[in-house]
A and B are shown apart, each in its own frame.
Chain A
Amino acid sequence: MSEHVLEKQFVDLAHQSETAELGIWGFIATEVLFLGGLFAAYGFFRYLHPVGVAAAASHTDLAIGTVNTIVLLTSSFFMSWSSLAARDGESRPAGVLMLITAALGIVFLGLKAIEYAEDIHEHLWPGPGFSLSTPDPKSGEVFYFLYWLLTGIHALHLLVGIGAILVIANRARRGVFTRAYHSPVRVVSLYWHFVDVVWIFLFVLIYLPGRAP
């Protein structure tokens, strides 16, 4: 497998690397709109039914949500460290750091699965079996519709990120990346941090409403 192929439309490796980075930033901009659109739908529904949404949100598992947020923030820390290491030409340490990042991502998904099982057990899946003991369960049902959609889409993005990190980490541990060539690490790092940013907002919208007495 040719690791350092310079494609014909680029002048040199630096040109190619910077272009790849611009590409992922462009992709992130589109994702801001995709996830942001979902947040907009949430936001306007909540504007129409603030009490119902807050009451429903207070039934989410704040403990798991908080731990998961800490897990993701820590994973971003390791991913960032890995990116710096790759930039300094330390390919194998970067690979190890990426594996830790991926592992934390898997921890997140594991906790999420436990939380999902809990939610289903408590009848928080929208549809005929839905049950919520708040004054406005209909709004609550819509809240949980958004909860499953938002967290599900986030989890899907996380899964893709974990897959990408594992692929790049594998290359890193074979010593492929150098000071001159490490853009795949940069690209995957930017994607990962973005998924983290999405969660930062998600956490606030899902887990924090309705906690005040």
Chain B
Amino acid sequence: MSATTILELPPCRGDSYLTDGSTLTSWLLTHDHKRIAILYCLTITGFFLIGGAAAALIRLNLLTPQGLLLDAETYNRTFTLHGVVMVWLFLVPSIPTTFGNFLLPLMLGAKDLAFPRINLLSWYLFTASGLIVLAGLITGSVDTGWTFYEPLSSGYSSGALVVVLFGIFVNGFSSILTGLNFVVSIHRLRAPGLTWYRLPIFCWSTYATSVILMLATPILAVTLLLVAAEHLWGVGVFDPTHGGDPLLFQHMFWFYSHPAVYIMILPGMGVVSEIIPTFARKKIFGYHFIAWSSVAIAVVGFVVWGHHMFVSGESIYAALVFSFLSFVVAVPSAIKVFNWLATLHKGSISFEAPMLYALGFILLFTIGGLTGLFLATLAFDEHATATYFVVAHFHYIMVGGMVSAYFAALHFWWPKVTGRLYPESWARFAAILIFFGFNLTFFPQFILGYLGMPRRYATYPPEFQVWNVFSSAGASILAAAYILPLLYLGWSLVRGERAPSNPWGATGLEWQTPSPPPTDNFARTPRVTRPPYDYPEPTV
């Protein structure tokens, strides 16, 4: 039985947003945030598959020390494609543009976002950017890695680089507009009675993510613009032959790209914060701390970027400052982990697929986060930087963390979005398989990095082969495990049981409307009178 967060609404009659217009134009010219979310989901799934194919090529190649499939240049192009596609065409948009778009107005009790047409524009910009980026990566020889370091990128790379940079520039516009839409919506469209401290944590995380999207992305845009201009003109501000400083590129690039990694985890944390209370049937522990920790991560995340440059030549004084601040930024994340665990404590826990993904997230994110502290330590980083230790670290957070959270969200809100229930046994199986495959893929990489195997190399010394084989084996399991949900979720669209409005008995306004919701979300604007996560107190 759902908690009484709002007054009882009369049942919504009439079409859902899915049936409200069935022509292609009604989808491609929609203003409905829910339809736009679906459009995003389709495009990012496509990009995920492309990025995943590149990953498969990488892991296949690394089965043997001499490199099984690819020569060095092709290998470099492959990991460049993998990084660019996964970062900008999958992870950065993932949860915000799909679940953020779908859920935010519902969670706010609003009929849509503040700027629906800008929302549609964001999707068009995003899709266009993806096509432009792919065109550049596939037709040209862009082998710089997703980090485009100077002077390799402007001086020694092919002209297709400019195409890729332009694509990412357009992608940035899409991000900025989405962030703006979310921030303004949260400020201005909350239903009567929905104060900031009654918002679900997902809204706080979305807000924090959106601040980063708005304030970091412009720096990326301008940095890539400078690189492209330098490439085209042959002269530039990063160019050492003209007295420019390549390190300036790194400062500006990482000023965006470090906060970007928080874009790529905060939404996942928001999702986990919704799922844990639901499947522990207990209100979240330390709501204010979790809410403000999202903001803290967003703000402090902007002042740690120099930890990517410890060995590049920045001053030791700056390195010390950045190292210290990198330790500080771990604190709000740790607060979240402690609060999730405290929420579980004495909760009435059940292990549906979303919960399995969420629990996996907590463990894998913690491992990833702790290894980040290793890397924030100057002395250790001297040894481990540019090795597989770093690769394992960020994959634990981005794949073990964020992708798990994405799948958690997919399962948790699937009934709401599609009006269908997915098959629970298959989902649990996939979740466990993903967890197993993931660890087999990436834990050996910590060992490889510690032993000294550098990243971004097509070949390696033979003594590293065993761990590489383990990793590649894990990757094949992971690949199969990621395909599974595509299959059973797709099946559920046609044969799945119809979902009630609140299959999990969760709190939150999105569950107080039918599954799937009508176009205007609510028959009457809800009025909120109760705190969030209003589950009954656990009986001892």
Query: Do A and B contact each other directly (Cβ–Cβ < 8 Å)?
Result: yes
Interface residues of A (CB under 8 A from B): 7-9, 15, 18-19, 22-23, 26-27, 29-31, 33-35, 37-38, 40-42, 44-45, 48-49, 52, 126-127, 130, 138-139, 141-142, 145-146, 149
Residues of the A chain whose Cβ atoms lie less than 8 Å from the Cβ of B110: 9
Cβ A126 vs Cβ B237 within 8 A:
no
A-B residue pair count with CB separations less than 8 angstroms: 108
Cβ A145 vs Cβ B183 within 8 A:
no
Instruction: Tell me, in angstroms, the Cα distance from A52 to B242 when the chains sit together.
Output: 11
Residues of the B chain whose Cβ atoms lie less than 8 Å from the Cβ of A33: 215-216, 218-219
Residues of the B chain whose Cβ atoms lie less than 8 Å from the Cβ of A138: 241-243
Cβ B218 vs Cβ A126 within 8 A:
no
Which residue, A26, A38, A126, A138, has most C-beta atoms of chain B within 10 A? A26
Interface SS, B side: helix
Q: From A22, which residue of chain B is reached at the shortest CB distance?
A: B184
A-B contact pairs, 28 of them (CB 8 A): A7-B112, A18-B188, A19-B184, A22-B188, A26-B183, A26-B184, A29-B215, A30-B176, A30-B215, A30-B218, A31-B218, A34-B222, A37-B222, A37-B223, A37-B252, A41-B226, A41-B237, A41-B248, A45-B243, A48-B244, A49-B243, A139-B242, A142-B237, A142-B242, A145-B233, A145-B235, A145-B236, A149-B225
Cβ B188 vs Cβ A127 within 8 A:
no
Interface residues of B (CB under 8 A from A): 105, 110-116, 176, 180, 183-184, 187-189, 214-219, 221-223, 225-226, 229-230, 233-237, 239, 241-245, 248, 251-252, 520
Question: A191 CB to closest chain B CB, in angstroms?
Answer: 14
Cβ B180 vs Cβ A8 within 8 A:
no
Interface SS, A side: helix
Residues of the B chain whose Cβ atoms lie less than 8 Å from the Cβ of A48: 243-245
Question: A23 CB to closest chain B CB, in angstroms?
Answer: 5
Question: A83 CB to closest chain B CB, in angstroms?
Answer: 21
Residues of the B chain whose Cβ atoms lie less than 8 Å from the Cβ of A23: 114-115, 180, 184
Residues of the B chain whose Cβ atoms lie less than 8 Å from the Cβ of A15: 188
Set B115, B222, B245: member contacting A38, Cβ < 8 A: B222
Q: From A149, which residue of chain B is reached at the shortest CB distance?
A: B229
Cβ A42 vs Cβ B235 within 8 A:
no
Given contacts A23-B184, A37-B221, A127-B233, 18 further A-B contacts (CB under 8 A): A8-B111, A9-B111, A9-B114, A9-B116, A23-B114, A26-B180, A26-B214, A34-B219, A34-B221, A38-B226, A40-B252, A41-B248, A44-B245, A45-B243, A127-B235, A138-B243, A142-B236, A146-B237
